[in-house]
Structure 1
Amino acid sequence: MAQNQAALQAVSKALKALETTLAGQQQDVSSARQALQEVEREMADLQQKSLVLNQTVATQKAAIARLGEQKSELQAQLATQKDQISAVLRLAYKQNNQPLIKLLLSKQRPEDVARHLYYFSVLTDNQQQQVAKWVEEQNLLATTLRTEAQLLIEMEENKERLVEQSRKLKSQQNKRTLAIAAINSEAENTIGNIARKEKELAKMTELIDQLQSKLASLGLEFPDLEGRTNPKGELPWPVSGRLKNAYGQSFDGSVLTWQGWLIAAPLGTDVLAVQRGRVVFADFFKANGLLMIVDHGAGIWTLYGRNQALLRDVGSWVEAGDVIAAVGQSGGYNESGLYFEVRKDGEPQNPANWLQKR
């Protein structure tokens, strides 16, 4: 088991080193696009931290709600035992058992009270059980109140962090607007978007080829993916949304065509892995923005681009239906959506042939 874990860690380390090398090779020469890339990387980091904080706050809220219910139940139970404990105190008073009265009315910790109760033989077994139960519930109530108070403090601190993250994100969004304006201005004085798109398509093919070649040379085999059945027509959609641009459709009326699907969806919508696999790339890549590539074995890869945040690291395993990213508009776009590709042995495939019919 330890050997398998060590092997998995070695594979993850090799994949991360490979990703860093390839991402560095694909740096954009345009200063405006470099600025956009830096801003969108920072925004992705902030988005990811905000997602984690929001999840933490939600968990804390749920825990506080449960503690509140527990507190109410304990307080109700203690209220019903009030008469029974009063009877014990009256008995002790009648027998002039001042030490017992002082113990029960003291401000000692409930657990300390419990340790001393056996000294008082004046109590019957039933009465001792009643007092022991009362002390136990007092102790549990005190613990509940302390835990609730600490969680409230931590939750408020996290909410303050979220406000600060939101402020930073707004600042980055303003920078992004300026970077996109600079890119649009630059495009008017260059060979244009069509020529640029052609180069980007070639770069994507180059990236895939390099990934495949490097993975093969490193001997990074994923035995868990061997023997997979052909999933054509069975894969779930990676995101719930409207198909905006389809495979093979002309790009802006040119001879270039879309190599995948653009699925319109609101910002932050969950992006799901369509099948079990391993993440082999998770970084910013040119006009694809924040891009994740998953190797499913048998030469089948899926690509998820334009994300707001990437939620899985290179080398990690994913299952079908796992949330791996959040829909965004990274890459310099004004509308949110997921760019999705299926590749078989490096060649783009029509997602319509692989995904379930809708």
Structure 2
Amino acid sequence: MTKKRGAIAFLLTTVLLAGSVIPLQAGELEDAIKEQRELQKKGEQARSQLNNLTHTADKLQNQIKSLATQITVATNSLNEKQVAYNQAVEAVNQSEQELKKREEELANRQEVLRKRVKEIYQVGQVSYLEILFEAEDLSDFITRVEYFNRLIDNDQKILTDIGLEKARIEEETKVLQAHRDEAAKLKAEAEKAKAELDAKKKEHQVALDTNKKAQSDIFEQIEQMEADSNAIAEKIRKLTANSGVVHGTISTYPLPGCYEISDAYGWRIHPITKKKSLHTGTDLPAPTGTKVLAAGNGEVIMADWYGAYGNAVIVDHGGGYTTLYGHNSKLAVKVGDMVKAGDVVAYAGSTGWSTGPHLHFEVRIKGESTDPMQFFR
């Protein structure tokens, strides 16, 4: 690669050739470059904000997923607690019904015995005289008296048994009521835990929706800045392009050995703004540091940071043809250098608005973009 002349010499020579027209163009070029750099700074700030928002959105989405899983677990736990509580309530109801039945039975038995004792008390000795007179003999009399005594003793035993059964059921009911109260407590705790998780998930979703709205606003800003940047880039090309002499043709593939195309020329969904836009070049994936070659003979008219293109090189091939090499990790040429087809002009990277190491390769004819792959078919 040889250097034909430096930028200052180039401007002086052009001034001598073009007279008073060039100072106007030089001023316009300086203003355009300054405006491009300002857009670049704003673009980087917007992209930084977008990266922060995207990072936050990813965290929120992961947290929402985690909360959704926790809510599922909490819901299952609540359902189990609800079933346990329902079973405890049913057990208490059954026990209370059984207790009520025993209480009624004991009350009936007590009433029967009370009446019998009352009758015996009221009749008193008359009853024994009746038993004596009605008895056939002494033995029959004793038998009759023992019968009445045993009847009363049996009633007392039945009362005792019923009382013991009632006490047992009362104790069981207390235990079941305690289980029911504990089940109710656990159910309330499960309901509270689920409600808190639901509230957290709702808060995170609101935050995520707000984040997405902010991303959308920045996408619009980036899209507008990209459009402005492209317009200024076109202006710079027209102000700097030397279309008088054809230095060479576009014939050399810029990335020998790297023939995969990750994003072809044409309309697409922009990887940064997520909106449909014209992709003015072809993206060729390549490891960072891969040599980028000039596609033909020409003059370097730009070698610097170039907004969304990152570190970029533009070569003027004459006749209105220019090539652009964007997103480089490092540049190997400077403005004014004359290059030949196959000379190294940069090294592939992922600077500017890029999602990974690759070369963005453009060919423009009189400022209009065209499919660069047509020159290598």
TM-score (structure 1 length as normaliser): 0.48
Structure with max Cα Rg = 2
TM-score (structure 2 length as normaliser): 0.46
